[in-house]
Structure 1
Amino acid sequence: MSNAALYVARSGLDAQSNRMRVIANNLANVNTTGFKRDRAQFETLAYQTMTAAGAASEGDARYATGLSLGSGVRMTGTARINTQGTLTQTDNPLDMAIEGDGFFQVTLTDGRIGYTRAGNFNLSAEGQIVTSDGLPLQPQIQVPEGATSVTIGTDGTISAQLAGQTEATELGKVELARFVNPSGLQAMGDNIFTETSASGAPQVGIAGLDGRGTIRQGSLEASNVNVVQELVDMIETQRAYEINSKMISATDEMLKNANQQL
């Protein structure tokens, strides 16, 4: 008796274990600002064709279906689900949420440009608008010392009311980057993504134009993880893992019986 079924079941265990890790990461980030849930994707492994469909059987007759035996499954990747998360009002003037497509741009420590949906920005000691990790917003915007209020328009225009002035002073404009395939961005951790050949080049411009979303001041985008859906997926994954485990036990018992009888 062939032990091929053992390898098929093992591939199922590996696939379900990886899917459970994806689900666990989604649930762990249920409160992460701007987080986008991932979905595990699978594909079949190679088939062993014993009898080809359409091959001659007897005389002029041909097999209608053929005989092919699969060799299991594997996880091919994770698809990032880029649906809009709920906007939560914080009333913090430096908090920004993107309503629609697009990413904020930040300058990474190695000089590259990173992209993020997390708009929980702060001021550095020098007055620059930075992320919670200290990465400056790109283009860099400096808030003068003594500014009494900061206003951010839906198009990203940042203005500040300075002491002794009756009108607000424009400090700069937040530009958003849009990608043809945002799921192709490389996740780097810390809510940061980087460009890849799969994502395409960033299309940078003013918020609200050319398909880019608008900016909401004093709000943050919540994670788009649906806890109920993740729990359902977790139970389904657990059951599939158990079935593959039982398949290994059953196949092992069949092989044991065959060895005892022969």
Structure 2
Amino acid sequence: MNRTMITATNTLTQLQKQMDMISNNMANIDTNGFKRREATFTELLYQQFNNQPNVNDEANRLTPNGIRQGTGAKLAQAQLVMAQGSIKQTDRPLDTSFIQEGQLYKVVVQSENGNDILYTRDGAFHLSPLGENELLLVTGDGNPILDENDNPIVINGEPKDYSISENGQLTVTMSDGENQVYNLGVVQVNKPQFLEQKGNNLYGLPANFEGLNVPIEDIFTELVGPLRDQIGIRQGALEQSNVDMSKEMTELINVQRSYQFQSRSITIADQMMGLVNGIR
């Protein structure tokens, strides 16, 4: 295998990852609150050949001296794009939509290691029976929604009406006329590049986060106390995905053409080696 084949093969594997990312974006175009990912590339290490022994002969050269032979490109980052999606009015009391970018609800998910706190932008809430005269506020997948103190929101009694203010305060009016008030747990994402998609429209920190030596306060800002005035929530509406199908299709075509170009490079390199081996 010559250098051309190695370079093309390295790039092909990375282009496949980008195609998978675009496919995932397109598959979630109708997912509430879904945020698309965007790939950025960087070149791999290159080899420098200093073929000119006399530097003075390169005095008027506009490009760097020598010959630089690369080994392909790699996927440098899968950036989470937190741009606001369109708002769809539903008039359902437990449907909510963020109107501020970068804000996420906190939910608790059961895992092999216990309960993990994850984050979602999907504001379609539901009520799940927990016990006698107890209702648990959950997502569409049954994951409990947390309040600002990281406790599940449990409604005691028979609810009659729901009101959610712009700063994320849930007021439940009971059948006996009393009100139960809860503050929804909301965080502001400062560095979305640290978030990983955990499935079911949930986001979380990577498994190797502790080894990154990055304070969690630099990634999230807990919107509690006076900071709750920064929360922007609209009741009776849902945020749609921020995926633009036309843009994704255009990007997919470009990636497919790059993939074909790299594949063609391997074919041509194989034909050249066949010609060399056929010389008598």
User: What is the TM-score with the length of structure 1 in the denominator?
Assistant: 0.89
Residue number among 122, 126, 132 corresponding to 1:122 in the alignment: 126
| Residue 41 (structure 1) shift | 2.0
Identity %: 28
Output one character per residue of 1:175-208: Cα deviation in whole Å (capped at 9) or x when no partner.
3111320221122111111234568333212499
* Other-structure match for 2:216: 200
| Residue 212 (structure 1) shift | 4.0
Q: Distance in 2 between matches of 1:211 and 1:237?
A: 43
Output one character per residue of 1:140-184: Cα deviation in whole Å (capped at 9) or x when no partner.
32334332211111011111222243xx61421113111320221
Output one character per residue of 1:91-137: Cα deviation in whole Å (capped at 9) or x when no partner.
11111111113110112212221111111110011311111222111
Write the mapping of 1:88-237 to structure 2, written as runs, cut at 5 A: 88-100=88-100, 101-109=102-110, 110-126=114-130, 127-139=135-147, 140-165=152-177, 169-195=179-205, 196=209, 200-201=216-217, 202-206=220-224, 209=227, 212-237=230-255
Q: Distance in 1 between matches of 2:74 and 2:38?
A: 14
Q: Distance in 1 between matches of 2:159 and 2:251?
A: 49
Could you tell me which amino acid in structure 2 is paired with residue 200 of structure 1? I
| Residue 62 (structure 1) shift | 4.5
For the Cα contact (< 8 Å) 2:223–2:231, is it kept in 1? no
Could you tell me which amino acid in structure 1 is paired with residue 146 of structure 2? Q
The alignment status of 1:70 with 2:70, answered yes or no, reads: yes
For the Cα contact (< 8 Å) 1:207–1:213, is it kept in 2? no
**Range moving further from structure 2, 137-146 or 176-185:** 137-146
SS in 1 for 2:40: strand
Change (3 A) 1:199 1:211: farther
Q: Distance in 2 between matches of 1:228 and 1:183?
A: 24
* Other-structure match for 2:260: 242
* Other-structure match for 1:81: 81
| Residue 75 (structure 1) shift | 1.7
Change (3 A) 1:87 1:164: same
SS in 2 for 1:151: strand
* Other-structure match for 2:12: 13
For the Cα contact (< 8 Å) 1:82–1:183, is it kept in 2? no
Over the residues paired in the alignment, what is the CA RMSD in angstroms? 2.3
**Range moving further from structure 2, 71-80 or 216-225:** 71-80
* Other-structure match for 2:278: 260
Q: Distance in 2 between matches of 1:129 and 1:207?
A: 22
Could you tell me which amino acid in structure 2 is paired with residue 253 of structure 1? Q
Matched pairs, number = 256
* Other-structure match for 2:54: 57
For the Cα contact (< 8 Å) 2:167–2:230, is it kept in 1? no
For the Cα contact (< 8 Å) 1:155–1:208, is it kept in 2? no
Could you tell me which amino acid in structure 2 is paired with residue 111 of structure 1? N
* Other-structure match for 2:37: 38
SS in 2 for 1:111: strand
